[in-house]
Amino acid sequence: MIGGHYTYAEVPFFDGLFGAERNNYDKVGHFFQGFVPALLAREILIRKAVVNGGFWRSTIIVSICLAFSAFYELIEWWVALATGEDAEAFLGTQGYIWDTQSDMGLALIGAIFSLLLLSASHNKQLENLANRVNPAPS
């Protein structure tokens, strides 16, 4: 909720954190921009049986997350152009020329972490759900 009160560059807790010259609050958001959509995409792809192989499912999930992140970066750019504001102030790049690329890189890392950390748990939850919906005959 703290991010709703401040702009990206002005979140107090992240000012100079670990000796950084810029406020990296937006990096947390971009990590979760990959982490959360990976869960949603995985759920949809499994329930709709779109892709059966685990490798290809994971590849498609990561691709969906990267597409989402790229589209978000384009929206940021379009809003900066449309409002006529200084794009650097609006986007929160804070003079970092690789901001867009690092944002998308963090979304990639978030998607991969999500798949690595939560896939086994997600599979168990889906199996439990299937067992409740279609119980084994006794």
Does a structural domain hold residue 132?
no
Three-state SS for 58-96 is HHHHHHHHHHHHHHHHHHHHHHHHHHCCCHHHHHCCCCC
Does a structural domain hold residue 56?
yes
Domains: count for the chain? 1
Q: Which domain holds residue 89?
A: 26-114
pLDDT tens digits in sequence order for the chain, 138 residues long: 555 666 655 666 666 655 566 666 778 888 999 999 999 999 999 889 888 888 999 999 999 999 999 998 888 788 777 877 665 555 555 566 777 888 899 999 999 999 999 998 988 988 888 888 777 776
Does a structural domain hold residue 119?
no
Does a structural domain hold residue 77?
yes
SS3 content of the chain, % helix, strand, coil (to 5): 75, 0, 25
